[in-house]
């Protein structure tokens, strides 16, 4: 059982890294609390697997330290850490039965035979593998094999954390959901830290209590699924999470008013923008943009309306830019001319991709807003 | 609707039939023809029934005794080189680098012995092992060991076995290396996490994944060593005495040395049958392995 601390961790696959562009993993400071269910979410090639392999000890970081509780394990080999890992492609030992597979990690650590047998039975029960215990592991389906690799991790009583590297990639869709709920249930019953790497936002958001979003070798936001949805710290998070993703448009901000293509949009916070040259953008999720009949707000032309079942989403064009908006039940649009109404409480302002926190109106302080021209995208 | 049958297409395979007939079927039939006849020269043949085969398969007869001696000698040779080359090949494959420029270097070096013509291999070792001018023979003799492959049977055997190991272990190693390369990294990583020892990794991951290529390696090495001719012929000529007279050497002596065409034909047919049956056994085993794999992946 351990709290895992990443202390100024960075990794480069080059032997002589020069600048930040040489780092597969840029400097990261993070604490994984004991017993948490984490997801590490990001597109392929963003450094998630590198980070995972550093935690499990398969890769030694170029810089920084890893602490399990207060013990520095940076130089400890994998087998000396209390970590289990489940890989993208199920790894089972072909020549062994399921029982022997599950017993393998304990046998290697020279545990007494009766203890091994009892523990294997227990874990097999947890994972619903009891009925296949005496079958050859090589003859089983991918989801059972993946359960076996998970079981080989769980079987070790000292395991502090289990790392999952896109474990559902090769699982049939209808079994994915089942296996994910098995994982969730296991996490509730056992006090084990789980770190789940995926590029699938649904998997991440349904599995994890806390999601760590990575982009281009760096962590861009850590938060609960709700936080990621409500306050994306980076435009990337806005795009990546949510379906459809957040609308992002270049703008100019003056105090509590944003100008998109010279259309004023009221904000409920005021911003002081530091210096020019930054890329200022306005982000708002489609859920908080309402399509209304023409004249009620920003003029747009409607390209398409998709009925997603639970909601209707309109694809609209505003000055050459495609945006998504939700269509309220009562509204019906004639022709392609319509208007957008933004909910000011859910408008976020980004400078160079990063969220800028404004000051509430009520503070009354006159915001000195340097006018910055939005760079056209 | 009735289907029109057109048998003209058979003419298209006629050339193949003709080539196979001339290159394989007719010569084989000639051999069969010889094996049931006797001759006293002048191209006069007499019907002899299965007498040659009876003589060949009866160890108490001169022909049978000679045949079984050569057969056991050959089987012993195959067994010895398999027992050396397979473990050695696996060991070499395991020791080979996995990445970097050394991989290419190793592969080229390993492939070199395989590229040398067989009679050249025989000649190289014939000279190399000579006591007077050969580096190996001279070195061993100057260590005080009485080594002479033309005089002592054991020395001749050792020389031939070492020569074959030198010539062919690379093949086993290259096949095993290919098998090893196909194992995904995740297996090794999982094994490390499971705390497996080096030996356990070999037993539980590497060996099972190499099973198929190993079968092929064993088949190829068995066949080649069972039919070995050129290298021992050049090196020892079957001697000293008959110590290294393997089946193929004996067959050539019988057919081209003594011109006992009938006996030689009978012997070559039996020899051929043995090889075919061993091939069939391997083929069946490999098919079973494949079938099992297909069942696993289904």
Q: What are the pLDDT digits (tens) for A287-336?
A: 888 888 877 788 888 888 888 877 888 888 887 888 888 888 877 777 78
* B204 contact residues in A (CB cutoff 8 A): 93, 95-96, 104
Q: What is the DSSP letter of B22?
A: I
- pTM of this prediction? 0.74
Confidence of residue B44 (pLDDT cuts 50, 70, 90): confident
Whether residue A94 and residue B200 make contact (CB cut-off 8 A), yes or no, is no
Q: Which residue range forms the structural domain that includes residue B175?
A: 61-297
- Give yes or no for residue A365 having a pLDDT over 50: no
CA torsion through residues A44, A48, A54, A57, sign = negative
Report yes or no on B91 lying in a domain: yes
ipTM here:
0.74
Mean pLDDT, chain B, integer: 86
Report yes or no on B6 lying in a domain: no
The pLDDT assigned to B193 comes to 85
Tens-place pLDDT, residues A68-83 = 888 888 888 887 888 8
- With an 8 Å Cβ cutoff, is A170 touching chain B? no
The answer to whether the beta carbons of residues A255 and A266 sit under 8 Å apart is no
The answer to whether the beta carbons of residues A170 and A86 sit under 8 Å apart is no
Tens-place pLDDT, residues A184-200 = 888 888 888 888 888 88
Report yes or no on B188 lying in a domain: yes
- With an 8 Å Cβ cutoff, is A89 touching chain B? yes
Report yes or no on B41 lying in a domain: no
The pLDDT assigned to B169 comes to 93
Report yes or no on B193 lying in a domain: yes
A128: left (phi over 0), alpha (psi -120 to 50) or beta: left
Whether residue A105 and residue B195 make contact (CB cut-off 8 A), yes or no, is yes
Report yes or no on B149 lying in a domain: yes
The total number of structural domains that make up chain B? 1
Nearest chain A residue to B191 by CA distance is: A105
Residues B33, A181: Cα–Cα separation, whole Å: 75
Confidence of residue A372 (pLDDT cuts 50, 70, 90): very low
The pLDDT assigned to A371 comes to 36
Tens-place pLDDT, residues B271-287 = 989 989 988 998 888 88
Report yes or no on B218 lying in a domain: yes
Nearest chain A residue to B183 by CA distance is: A91
Domains delineated in chain A: 4-240 (3.40.50.300), 247-363 (2.40.50.140)
- With an 8 Å Cβ cutoff, is B201 touching chain A? no
The pLDDT assigned to B164 comes to 92
Tens-place pLDDT, residues B91-135 = 999 998 888 888 899 999 989 999 998 889 889 988 888 878 888
Run of H or E including A26? strand A25-32
- With an 8 Å Cβ cutoff, is A102 touching chain B? no
- With an 8 Å Cβ cutoff, is B194 touching chain A? yes
- Identify the CA nearest to A212 among candidates A48, A33, A9, A85: A48
Confidence of residue A377 (pLDDT cuts 50, 70, 90): very low
Confidence of residue B295 (pLDDT cuts 50, 70, 90): low
Report yes or no on B55 lying in a domain: no
Burial A21-51 (b: 16+ CB within 10 A, else e): eebbbbbbeeebebbbbbbbbbeeebbbbbb
Arithmetic mean of pLDDT, B200-206: 89
Arithmetic mean of pLDDT, B57-84: 88
CATH code of the domain covering residue B146: 1.10.3720.10
């Amino acid at each position: 059982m351990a709290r895992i601390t990443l202390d100024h961790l960075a990794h480069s696959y080059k032997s002589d890294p020069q600048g930040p562009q040489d780092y597969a993993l840029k400097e990261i400071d993070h604490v994984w609390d004991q017993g948490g269910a984490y997801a590490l979410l990001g597109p392929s090639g963003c450094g998630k697997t590198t980070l995972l392999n550093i935690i499990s000890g398969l890769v030694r970081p170029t810089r920084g330290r890893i602490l399990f509780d207060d013990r520095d394990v940076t130089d400890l080999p994998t087998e000396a850490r209390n970590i289990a890992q489940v890989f993208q492609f199920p790894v089972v030992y072909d020549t062994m039965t399921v029982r022997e597979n599950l017993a393998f990690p304990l046998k290697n650590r020279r545990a007494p035979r009766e203890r091994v047998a009892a523990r294997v039975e227990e874990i097999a029960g947890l994972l619903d593998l009891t009925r296949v215990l005496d079958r050859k592991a090589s003859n089983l389906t991918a989801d059972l094999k993946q359960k076996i690799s998970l079981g080989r991790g769980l079987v070790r009583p000292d395991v502090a954390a289990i790392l999952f590297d896109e474990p559902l990639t090769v699982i049939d869709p209808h079994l994915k959901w089942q296996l994910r709920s098995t994982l969730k249930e296991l996490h509730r019953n056992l006090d084990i830290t789980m770190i789940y790497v995926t590029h699938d936002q649904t998997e991440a958001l349904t599995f994890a209590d806390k999601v760590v979003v990575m982009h281009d070798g760096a962590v861009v936001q850590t938060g609960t699924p709700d936080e990621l949805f409500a306050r994306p710290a980076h435009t990337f998070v806005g795009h990546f999470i949510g379906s459809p993703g957040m609308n992002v448009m270049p703008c100019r901000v003056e105090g509590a008013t944003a100008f998109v293509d010279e259309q004023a949009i009221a904000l409920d916070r005021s911003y002081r923008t530091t210096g020019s040259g930054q890329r200022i953008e306005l982000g708002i999720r489609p859920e908080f943009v309402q399509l209304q009949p023409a004249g009620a707000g920003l003029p747009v032309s409607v390209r398409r309306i998709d009925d997603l079942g639970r909601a209707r989403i309109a694809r609209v064009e505003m000055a050459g830019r495609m945006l998504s908006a939700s269509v309220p039940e009562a509204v019906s649009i004639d022709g392609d001319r319509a208007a957008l109404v933004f909910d000011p409480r859910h408008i976020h302002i980004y400078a160079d991709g990063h969220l800028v926190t404004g000051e509430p109106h009520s503070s009354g302080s006159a915001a000195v807003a340097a006018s910055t021209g939005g760079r056209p995208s | 609707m009735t289907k029109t049958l057109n048998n003209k297409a058979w003419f298209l395979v006629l050339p193949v039939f003709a080539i196979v007939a001339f290159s394989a079927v007719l010569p084989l039939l000639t051999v069969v023809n010889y094996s049931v006849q006797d001759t006293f020269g002048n191209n006069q043949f007499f019907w002899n029934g299965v007498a040659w085969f009876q003589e060949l398969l009866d160890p108490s007869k001169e022909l049978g005794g000679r045949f079984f001696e050569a057969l056991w000698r050959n089987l012993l040779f195959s067994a010895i080189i398999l027992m050396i080359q397979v473990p050695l090949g696996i060991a070499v494959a395991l020791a080979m680098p996995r990445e970097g420029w050394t991989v290419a270097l190793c592969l080229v070096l390993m492939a070199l012995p395989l590229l040398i013509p067989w009679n050249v291999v025989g000649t190289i070792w014939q000279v190399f092992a000579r006591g007077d001018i050969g580096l190996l023979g001279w070195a061993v003799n100057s260590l005080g060991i009485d080594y002479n492959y033309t005089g002592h049977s054991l020395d001749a055997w050792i020389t031939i076995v070492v020569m074959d190991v030198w010539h062919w272990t690379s093949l086993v190693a290259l096949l095993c290396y290919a098998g090893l390369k196909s194992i995904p990294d995740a297996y090794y990583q999982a094994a490390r996490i499971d705390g497996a020892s080096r030996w356990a990794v070999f037993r539980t991951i590497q060996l099972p994944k190499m099973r198929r290529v190993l079968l092929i390696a064993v088949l190829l090495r068995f066949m080649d060593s069972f039919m070995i001719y050129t290298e021992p012929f050049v090196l020892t000529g079957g001697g000293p005495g008959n110590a290294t007279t393997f089946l193929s050497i004996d067959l050539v002596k019988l057919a081209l040395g003594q011109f006992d065409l009938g006996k030689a034909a009978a012997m070559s047919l039996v020899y051929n049958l043995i090889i075919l049956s061993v091939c069939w056994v391997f083929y069946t085993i490999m098919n079973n392995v494949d079938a099992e794999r297909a069942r696993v992946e289904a």
